[in-house]
Amino acid sequence: MKPTTRFGLVRHGITAWNEEKRAQGHTNNELNEQGLRQAELVARRLSQARWDYVYSSDLRRARQTAETIASALGIDEISYDERLRELHGGRIEGTTLDERIAAWGEGWRELELGTEGAEAGAARGAACLQELADRHAGANVLVISHGAVLRHTLKRLVEGIDAEQLLGNTSVTELIRDTEGWRCSLYNCTAHLSDAPEC
């Protein structure tokens, strides 16, 4: 019988490229001033509950978010895992949609531009979470990662989930693994960024 393991999935804070709508992929961008503030706000929210472990993508924008959260929680150790990185963008990294159309035409998505597919990202993300659920059975685990890889990982793990809505920066999603499998109890909540009621 599997004990219940609770995950808090957090997308990193905003960056300059997020604001400019540039594909980031594995580019090692840092949070901008707003992103740092978002990280502080989500850290304050998460500090109201008990968390046992913090795992993060090793890309800088996720690391900064994770460091802010771990500091607020009083957790000294953050474990970094490359499987939590965003989907690799290949040749489109650093470009906007208009720039991609200008360079490769309207059908740019059909070209071989070195991008990592959603299935590949979902496979590594799901493998990571499965491993963490087994390693930390019964614990509360925070995972700081990226929008696309988190959404596709959720689709892989949770049957029938509606994860089409893009994840907001520092959004909180709660994922449960128990004897019945995987379920999502909260998706894409950013109430901590406004005066809105808690999700």
| pLDDT, tens digit, 9 for 90 and up, residues 51-91 | 999 999 999 999 999 999 999 999 999 999 999 999 999 99
Q: How many angstroms separate the CA atoms of 94 and 9, rounded?
A: 25
- Is 14 labelled a binding residue? yes
Q: How many angstroms separate the CA atoms of 41 and 193, rounded?
A: 7
Q: Where are the domains of the chain?
A: 5-193
* Each residue's pLDDT tens digit, 173-185: 999 999 999 999 9
- Is 61 labelled a binding residue? yes
Q: Which of 12, 146, 152, 192 is catalytic?
A: 12
Other C-beta atoms lying within 10 Å of the C-beta of residue 174: 17
Mean pLDDT across the stretch 30-50? 97
Classify domain 5-193 at the CATH class level. Answer: alpha beta
In the residue annotation, 26 being an active-site residue is answered as no
SS3 label, residue 171:
coil
- Is 90 labelled a binding residue? no
Token pair for residue 107?
A: 């059908």
In the residue annotation, 12 being an active-site residue is answered as yes
Q: Which of 26, 40, 86, 116 is catalytic?
A: 86
- Is 16 labelled a binding residue? yes
